[in-house]
Amino acid sequence: MDTSFGYFDDAAREYVITRPDTPWPWINYLGTEDFFSLISNTAGGYCFCRDAKFRRILRYRYNGVPMDAGGRYYYIKDGDTVWNPGWKPCKTPLDRYECRHGMGYSRFIGEKDGLQAELTCWVPLGHRCEVHRLRLTNTGTARKSFQLYSFVEWCLWNASTDMENFQRNLSTGEVEVEGRVLYHKTEYRERRDHYAFFGVNRPFDGFDTDRETFLGMYNGFEAPQQVLSGTSGNSVAHGWSPVASHRFDMALEPGQRDELLFVLGYVENPEDEKFTEQQVINKRRALEMMEAFSTPAQAEASLAALRAFWDGLLSRFTVASAVPELDRTVNIWNQYQCMITFFFSRSASYFESGIGRGMGFRDSNQDLTGIVHMIPERARQRIIDIASTQFPDGGCYHQYQPLSKRGNNDIGGGFNDDPLWLIFGTVAYIKETGDFGILQEPVPFDNQPGTEVSLLEHLKISFSHVTDNLGPHGLPLIGRADWNDCLNLNCFSDNPDESFQTTENQSEGSQAESLMIAGLFVAEGKDFAELLERIGDSDAAGVKQAVAAMEAAVKKDGWDGEWFLRAYDFYGRKIGSDECAEGKVFIESQGWCTMARIGAEEGLCDKALDSAVKYLECDYGMVLNNPAYTAYIKDYGEISTYPEGYKENAGIFCHNNPWVIIGEAMAGRADAAWRHYCKITPAFCQDQRLRKVEPYVFCQMVAGKDAARPGEGKNSWLTGTAAWTWKAVSEFLLGVKPQYDGLLIDPCLPLPYGTYRVHRRFRDAEYDLNIHYTGRRGGCFLPYEAGSHTVDIEL
């Protein structure tokens, strides 16, 4: 394993970064409820409450140079030397640097000239704030006098207009300074009822709230003029750019340690409690929050509570195997990433700006399957929220805004795979929890009160949305796109200024059909039929019939000879066929049709999986399509706009690799399943510099074999890869599968790794499984029974 930039500390559940100049900012997320932060290994990033676009608290410049400028910066001025515990922004060389990204917190240790700063940042449970605990220790032999400055820059709430409407923004900024707290209250007087604050648990010696006064008009974050001169301007911002900085004049004897607690918080006030006098904000809630973190003991207790929270979540599924990379992925980082992806959908990362995308219909349904074993109640709520945005014909908005929970058309609708994912998410939820009651929950259409029908009805129309939209071969019409947002077969765009996601300018008479949806329909249709039978619903027979018809259609018109076709285009021509010059083989249909086991008896699944290996596999995983498209094809859309080897054009789109891994496992091909899994799993990464992004989380995309630098990762963190690799590894490799009545243990691993233990919390039961897998298929069923069970399983 490559440790050039850091290593895993599994006992602490931390990734330890040992030098600050990582090949790309390596970030962590803080927060578990509705206040969230992104924090990089140099303390860069920002926070927001509930919605990364509309309630952005700290300003962040995505396209800045150098990148990742802005965050929570502490400056230490020790004589003529100015340095930061996280190295940036001054980049003064440190005698020691370490960043530990843990579960919901990040810790930075910087040391310079006999002074050590340990900064721990977290979002406490039950509060809308970041707490920063800064411990300063004199590690030298002489008394040290120095100055400490804090610094954050406020965003004017709407992260989008904050970056564009300067004629207004530069006049709206307002702050208040009172006691130990610097308040940001821009626009509080009118429609807003929220403000932010940055406070500290002791009196300060100076402050600034006006950026120009603090930095100087021509200085950057790396050289604030107040810090350089050891002063504060005591500035009160009026317009321009409000910031918050405290100054402390400090001294430490050798060996002495001091600890400060900063709270960076957010408050919403009820209408009748907004002001204490005209234009003066009511600070009660901020002061209460400050009070909650005013002593070291409170801070320690809050950190302990956070640790206990994650211990609780991560103790529900653990493995002890012979492969440490597997154990740390399963026990720590994959589950953690599933939680983060569930919270954030695709909204805010270092690749998603937090202003463009809300909660995706298909994305969120998949994401919830990665966390349902940890926080089932939140999965339940998410299912209801998602289903509430559906239309009466089963179609749906592609995404909804987390703040309003309403669907929006920003990236369109009419993606014909979308409805099926609701079945996928709901089935996973019920299998985990046994809560069939959710099916009877009243759920509206398009959030319109009075339109409620049961969730079960929503599932039924989701299913029939496919059968109502079949094409000439009896295969599902693709609509605007299926899972692959970039295969835009009803969009014929010559105009570089229009979005492929929202342009559907030719769909009348379209013959564009999707084999990915066909596979998804068969797989989910089988699950749906089983669910309906369970509850004694007579529609089960009709569902089975439709599934059988789809299987027949796939075998007849969806098989290319050695693999499953990908699609038919608008004109009814094949995509993903040996007949095509480029894009002969696609991964999505191999994954879905083999997971659905279409034509398994006739050997189609094995052949399709062999073809995936032959055409798609490379050193870093399986590419999406092969050969890559080398020119723009108007009939296909966005897929052919990407350079070869990137994103949907033959990138290793990690999200879909687990589909083939599961297909391989279902076919009993353990070596291939394991090999594919190891290739995309970051804990096995052999070259951190090449991979570039965080070595502890999955990427959405790793550059494929046709790219300039195969193996280079992008779009880390927020990706369906998290939930899907979780499913692949927990249910298919380790083989612990939740069923309506219990757990099915059905592993598929190379035999040298076949002996392992799994601890699995399942509803009100705890299972300790000692598994010895010798290659026998078929599995072993453990009926659900509350209580603790230790079971030896030999298969």
Binding site for ligand BGC (CB under 6 A): 411, 485-486, 501, 638, 647-648
Least distance to ligand BGC, CB of residue 639, Å: 8
8 Å CB contact between 793 and 734: no
3-state SS string over 189-243?
CCCCCEEEEEEECCCCCEEEEEHHHHHCCCCCCCCCHHHHHCCCCCECCECCCEE
Least distance to ligand NOJ, CB of residue 604, Å: 25
Q: Cβ closer to ligand NOJ: 241 or 721?
A: 721
Give me 215's structure tokens. Answer: 């930095």
**Nearest residue to ligand NOJ, by Cβ distance, number only:** 485
Q: Which of 648, 664, 731, 746 binds ligand NOJ (CB under 6 A)?
A: 648
Sign of the torsion angle spanned by Cα atoms 156, 157, 160, 161: negative
Over the window 232 to 261, marking each residue x when it contacts ligand NOJ by CB under 6 A and - when it does not, the resulting string is ------------------------------
Contacts with 545 (C-beta within 8 Å, 6 or more apart), sequence order? none
Q: State the residue for tokens 């394993």.
A: 1
Q: Cβ closer to ligand NOJ: 262 or 724?
A: 724
Q: Choose from ligand BGC, ligand NOJ, none: what does 483 bind? Cβ within 5-8 Å by kind.
A: ligand NOJ
Whole-number Å distance between alpha carbons of 713 and 491: 29
Least distance to ligand BGC, CB of residue 84, Å: 35
Whole-number Å distance between alpha carbons of 353 and 67: 13
Q: Cβ closer to ligand NOJ: 120 or 345?
A: 345
Q: State the residue for tokens 């509350």.
A: 786
Least distance to ligand BGC, CB of residue 651, Å: 9
Q: Choose from ligand BGC, ligand NOJ, none: what does 363 bind? Cβ within 5-8 Å by kind.
A: ligand NOJ
Binding-residue total with ligand NOJ (CB under 6 A) = 9
Say which amino acid occupies 166: F
| C-alpha count within 13 angstroms, C-beta hemisphere, residue 458 | 33
Whole-number Å distance between alpha carbons of 129 and 201: 14
Q: Cβ closer to ligand BGC: 355 or 553?
A: 355
Give me 273's structure tokens. Answer: 């409690």
Instruction: Please name every residue paired with 621 in a beta bridge, in sequence order, or none if there are none.
Output: 618
Q: State the residue for tokens 């994954």.
A: 591
Q: Cβ closer to ligand BGC: 513 or 638?
A: 638
The question of whether 485 is a catalytic residue gets the answer yes
Contacts with 778 (C-beta within 8 Å, 6 or more apart), sequence order? 746, 795
Catalytic residue of the set 51, 418, 485, 706: 485
8 Å CB contact between 606 and 593: no
Say which amino acid occupies 44: G
Least distance to ligand BGC, CB of residue 357, Å: 6
Least distance to ligand BGC, CB of residue 346, Å: 8
Least distance to ligand BGC, CB of residue 481, Å: 9
Least distance to ligand NOJ, CB of residue 373, Å: 23
**What is the phi/psi pair of residue 377, to 5°?**
-65, -35
Q: Cβ closer to ligand BGC: 667 or 723?
A: 723
Give me 482's structure tokens. Answer: 């299926």
Q: Choose from ligand BGC, ligand NOJ, none: what does 647 bind? Cβ within 5-8 Å by kind.
A: ligand BGC
Q: Cβ closer to ligand NOJ: 486 or 782?
A: 486
Q: State the residue for tokens 């809308």.
A: 128
Q: Choose from ligand BGC, ligand NOJ, none: what does 360 bind? Cβ within 5-8 Å by kind.
A: ligand NOJ
Least distance to ligand NOJ, CB of residue 639, Å: 9
Contacts with 715 (C-beta within 8 Å, 6 or more apart), sequence order? 349, 351, 352, 699, 700, 701
Q: Cβ closer to ligand BGC: 49 or 520?
A: 520
Q: Side by side, which strands form the sheet with 652-653?
A: 652-653, 699-702, 713-716
Contacts with 344 (C-beta within 8 Å, 6 or more apart), sequence order? 29, 36, 52, 717, 718
8 Å CB contact between 212 and 154: no
Over the window 343 to 382, marking each residue x when it contacts ligand NOJ by CB under 6 A and - when it does not, the resulting string is ---x-------------x-xx-------------------
8 Å CB contact between 433 and 376: yes
Q: Which residues within the stretch 478-537 sit at the binding site for ligand NOJ (CB under 6 A)?
A: 483-486
Which run of H or of E encompasses 528?
Answer: helix 515-534
CA neighbor of 624 nearest in space, from 705, 519, 717, 724:
705
Q: Cβ closer to ligand BGC: 360 or 682?
A: 360
Q: Cβ closer to ligand BGC: 370 or 735?
A: 370
| C-alpha count within 13 angstroms, C-beta hemisphere, residue 96 | 12
Q: Which residues within the stretch 287-346 sit at the binding site for ligand NOJ (CB under 6 A)?
A: 346
Q: Give start and end residues of each alpha helix (H) in 536-656.
A: 540-557, 587-595, 604-611
Distance of CA 265 to the CA centre of its chain: 23
Whole-number Å distance between alpha carbons of 779 and 524: 21
- Tell me which DSSP letter residue 69 carries: -
Q: Cβ closer to ligand BGC: 359 or 670?
A: 359
Q: Choose from ligand BGC, ligand NOJ, none: what does 501 bind? Cβ within 5-8 Å by kind.
A: ligand BGC
Q: Cβ closer to ligand NOJ: 206 or 395?
A: 395
**Nearest residue to ligand BGC, by Cβ distance, number only:** 485
Q: Choose from ligand NOJ, ligand BGC, none: what does 411 bind? Cβ within 5-8 Å by kind.
A: ligand BGC
Give me 222's structure tokens. Answer: 């790396």
Q: Give start and end residues of each alpha helix (H) in 356-454.
A: 361-368, 376-387, 418-433
Least distance to ligand NOJ, CB of residue 483, Å: 4
Whole-number Å distance between alpha carbons of 292 and 270: 21
Least distance to ligand BGC, CB of residue 92, Å: 39
Least distance to ligand BGC, CB of residue 701, Å: 8
8 Å CB contact between 476 and 522: no
- Tell me which DSSP letter residue 92 carries: P
Which run of H or of E encompasses 472?
Answer: none
8 Å CB contact between 29 and 344: yes
- Residue 712 binds ligand NOJ, judged by CB under 6 A: no
Whole-number Å distance between alpha carbons of 756 and 730: 13
Q: Choose from ligand NOJ, ligand BGC, none: what does 679 bind? Cβ within 5-8 Å by kind.
A: none
Which residues are at the interface with ligand NOJ (CB under 6 A)?
Answer: 346, 360, 362-363, 483-486, 648
Catalytic positions, written as ranges = 485
